Amino acid sequence: MIKFLFKGIIRDKSRSMLPIIVISLGVSLTIVLSGFLSGAMTDMVDQNAKFETGHVKIMSRAYADNKDQLPNDLALLGVDSLVANLQVNYPDLQWVKRIRFGGLLDAPDGNGESKGQGPAAGIAINLLDASSGEVERMNISNSIVSGNLPKNAKEALIGDEFANKLNLKIGDEVTYFGTTMNGSMTFQNFIISGTIRFGVAAMDRGAILLDITAAQEMLDMEDGTGEILGFYNNGVYDDKAAIALETAFNKRFENNPDEYAPEMFTLRAQNNLGDLLDYANNMSAIFVIIFVGAMSVVLWNTGLIGGLRRYQEFGIRLALGESKGSIYRSLVLEATLIGIIGSLVGTSLGLIGAFYLQNYGINIEGMVDNSAMMMPTVMRAKVTPDLYYIGFIPGVFAMVFGNMLSGIGIYKRETASLFKELEV
């Protein structure tokens, strides 16, 4: 029966061509859009995790309440022992210290006079300690536009856009003006070892990267840090495990009234990333539902038109004694075969598009120049195993559902009037 129906589909192009085209387009769009938006959302989450939130983050309670103001006067102290304790109790994560600070960066000329100034958004990480994994995690080596990584605590990396604005070159000396943890003024000179572009507009405008030991000395934060970030060793954020970890850690300090007591936050609990995670996880289901509905309506109408064209065929089959149920079942089976063929074609086209967007992406740099949100300037798709089969759900279901609706007309044919209808 299947072989017979398959031959009919191949030989009668007018019966199958339009539905296959509709299904192929719908399935390919489902796969491309699902892969692209899922990849874009995942990239945004990963970008935030690597640069700001970690998979989990520990801050003092007071710092967490005011973190947008970079309140280093509310930072954690005694962090060396705290990090050592975390490494023992939670070995499945890598723990790193980071300090965020703001201030003014001054570029002196050959006479020691200021030739340019600009607000600096500083990040201090373990630049000189290769074992911390920070250089690889933040992709610093590949993001350097000119120069090299700092070789000592007196060298710094500066944003390429920021360097051009201040007319700075490799080897130039800059002076940082800011305030220490204790509220006093601080001045520190650094040698520019390299310029960097992360591709994140919110960071590239005024970025300066220091080794954390230099920042601790400059800001009077010996054995202190603003944030401790935890990253799972496999590099993949596990939401359920992170929430369980957050609950267990915070329970240890729930009876401690000290506003400087450490508090842990998951990635989900920061920067409104919880909604983004849920959206990314449900992306495929959203597109399946949309395209099942849209394609069912189109294929229902296609089935009705096909039913009118095949009105005489069904009448002859009924007149020859074939039951209405048999004709209806063959119509549904035929629709299943057409749905599978269309889904195979659509999946192939969709995967080609998804692989292209994964490799080349879409550059949105001009759209995020003034954005404060941390997001990549090149949005890429992400080809996941579910893209290989997810297109068959709307492709087959929509075709079958549409033909089931249009095929109901078979049961309305009256056997007694068949010969009268076929008399022409």
Average pLDDT score over the chain: 83
- The answer to whether position 401 is within a domain reads yes
Token couple for 392: 């068959």
**372, 216, 273: which is closest to 50 by C-alpha?**
273
> What residue type is assigned to position 40 of the chain?
A
Confidence of residue 186 (pLDDT cuts 50, 70, 90): very high
Same structural domain, 64 and 37:
no
Q: Is the pLDDT of residue 422 over 70?
A: no
Q: Which domain-ending residue is among 217, 241, 266?
A: 266
Q: What is the pLDDT of residue 131?
A: 83
Instruction: For residue 262, give Cα distances in angstroms to 5, 85, 93, 265.
Output: 69, 13, 17, 10
pLDDT single digits (tens) 282-335: 766 777 777 777 777 777 776 666 666 666 777 777 777 778 788 788 888 888
In a domain, 353, yes or no: yes
Q: Judge whether residue 373 has pLDDT over 60.
A: no
Q: Which of 12-26, 185-199, 239-253 has the lowest mean pLDDT?
A: 12-26
**Is residue 49 one of the residues assigned to a domain?**
no
Boundary residue ending a domain (239, 266, 293): 266
Judged against a pLDDT cut of 60, whether residue 407 lies above it is answered with yes
pLDDT band (50, 70, 90) for residue 76: very high
Of 10-19, 220-229, 381-390, the one with minimum mean pLDDT is 10-19
**Are 410 and 328 in contact, with CB atoms under 8 Å apart?**
yes
Supply the pLDDT for residue 401: 81
Q: Which residue has the higher pLDDT, 379 or 199?
A: 379
- Closest Cα to residue 418, out of 305, 308, 321, 294? 321
As a dihedral over the C-alpha atoms of residue 37, residue 368, residue 270, residue 257, rounded to 10 degrees, the angle is 180
Q: What percent of the chain has pLDDT over 90?
A: 32
Per-residue pLDDT of 2-38, as tens digits, reads 676 666 666 666 667 888 888 888 889 888 988 888 8
The better pLDDT of the pair 14, 83 is held by: 83
Backbone conformation region of residue 252, classed left if phi is above 0, alpha if psi is from -120 to 50, else beta: alpha
Indicate whether 98 and 222 sit together in one domain. Answer: yes
In this prediction, residue 92 carries a pLDDT of 93
Q: Clarify whether residues 171 and 249 are in a common domain.
A: yes
Q: Does one domain contain both 223 and 259?
A: yes
Report pLDDT for 406.
73
For residues 29 and 39, give the distance between their C-alpha atoms in angstroms, rounded to a whole number: 15
392 pLDDT above the threshold of 90:
no
Same domain for 37 and 86?
no
Higher pLDDT, 111 or 34: 34
SS (H, E, C) the chain: CHHHHHHHHHHCHHHHHHHHHHHHHHHHHHHHHHHHHHHHHHHHHHHHHHHHHCCEEEEEHHHHHCHHHCCHHHCEECHHHHHHHHHHHCCCEEEEEEEEEEEEEEEECCCCCEEEEEEEEEEEECCCCHHHCHHHHCCHHHHEEEECCCCCCCEEEEEHHHHHHCCCCCCCEEEEEEECCCCCEEEEEEEEEEEECCCCHHHHCCEEEEEHHHHHHHCCCCCEECEEEEEECCCCCCHHHHHHHHHHHHHCCCCCCCCCCEEEEEHHHCCCHHHHHHHHHCHHHHHHHHHHHHHHHHHHHHHHHHHHHCHHHHHHHHHCCCCHHHHHHHHHHHHHHHHHHHHHHHHHHHHHHHHHHHHHCEECHHHCCCCCCCCCCEECCCCCHHHHCCCHHHHHHHHHHHHHHHHHHHHHCCHHHHHHHCCC
Number of domains making up the chain:
2
- Pairwise pLDDT comparison (316 vs 369), residue with the higher score: 316
Least confident of 55-69, 183-197, 352-366: 352-366
Q: How confident is the model at residue 230 (pLDDT cuts 50, 70, 90)?
A: very high
Domain co-membership, 208 together with 299: no
Q: Which of 266, 300, 315 is the last residue of a domain?
A: 266
End-to-end CA distance of the chain: 30
245 and 326 in a single domain? The answer is no
| pLDDT of amino acid 293 | 76
- By DSSP bridging, strand 56-60 and strand 227-232 are antiparallel
Note whether 407 and 313 are same-domain residues. yes
Task: Please tell me the predicted confidence (pLDDT) of residue 394.
Answer: 81
Say yes or no: 354 and 238 in one domain. no
- Do 257 and 393 lie in one domain? The reply is no
Least confident of 224-228, 233-237, 250-254, 303-307: 303-307
Residue 245 has pLDDT above 90, yes or no: yes
pLDDT at 252 over 80: yes
* Whether 239 and 369 share a structural domain: no
Give yes or no for residue 337 having a pLDDT over 90: no
Same domain flag for 80 and 161: yes
Q: Which two tokens stand for residue 231?
A: 């990253």
Residue 325 lies in a domain: yes
Q: How far is CA 317 from CA 40, 127, 331, 393, in A?
A: 53, 79, 13, 31
Whether residue 48 lies inside any domain: the answer is no
Q: Which range of residues forms the domain containing residue 356? A: 2-43+276-423
